[in-house]
């Protein structure tokens, strides 16, 4: 992997401490982590930033992750950005099945460990290398 280009990861999540945690874990591995506080800001930042990867929380008050995902996939300029969905452990199974059908790249359940997050990010990013 070419290390001269820093991978940009956008974390769309309505809990600031979660964004801080993800920034801490991924920042150590040399990723540039941006945070968007909720779905509306998230979709705007996806379009402006064109991140290499989006970490997307499903449960957000303003616009849920599902809606963000559909908007990303409907736009040809953001369609190919890989998405890892972050769900709460108690999330209903329909959502998770929906994710498989919708072809999200991966998903992790909260609470997750640093290694679990890293493994998922590394796997998805290496899959999407040009």
3-state SS string for 66-101 = HHHHHHHHHCCCCCCCCEEEEEECCCCHHHHHHHHH
Examine residue 54 and state whether it is found in any structural domain, yes or no.
yes
Task: Provide the pLDDT for residue 86.
Answer: 87
Examine residue 72 and state whether it is found in any structural domain, yes or no.
yes
Cβ contact 46:52 at 8 Å: no
The residue among 66, 84, 65, 85 whose CA lies nearest residue 127 is 84
pTM comes to 0.88
If you search the block for the tokens 């945690």, which residue do you land on?
A: 21
DSSP helix/strand/coil, 17: helix
Examine residue 73 and state whether it is found in any structural domain, yes or no.
yes
**CATH number of the domain within which 18 lies:** 3.40.50.2300
Examine residue 29 and state whether it is found in any structural domain, yes or no.
yes
Tens digits of per-residue pLDDT, 73-102? Answer: 999 999 999 999 887 765 556 666 666 666
Examine residue 1 and state whether it is found in any structural domain, yes or no.
no
Count up the domains in the chain and report the number.
1
Rounded mean pLDDT of 5-14? 94
DSSP secondary structure code for residue 33 in this structure: E
Q: For residue 64, what are the domain limits? A: 8-127
């Amino acid at each position: 992997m070419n290390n001269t280009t820093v991978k940009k990861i956008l974390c769309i999540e309505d809990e600031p401490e979660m964004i801080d945690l993800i920034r801490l874990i991924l920042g150590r591995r040399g990723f540039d982590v941006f945070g968007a506080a909720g779905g509306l800001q998230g979709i705007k930042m996806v379009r402006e930033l064109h991140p290499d990867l989006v970490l997307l929380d499903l449960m957000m008050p303003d616009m849920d992750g599902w809606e963000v995902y559909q908007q990303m996939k409907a736009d040809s300029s953001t369609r190919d950005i890989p998405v890892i969905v972050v769900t709460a452990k108690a999330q209903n199974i329909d959502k998770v099945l929906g994710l498989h059908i919708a072809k999200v790249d991966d998903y992790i359940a909260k609470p997750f460990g640093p290694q679990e997050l890293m493994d998922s990010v590394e796997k998805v990013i290496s899959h999407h290398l040009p």
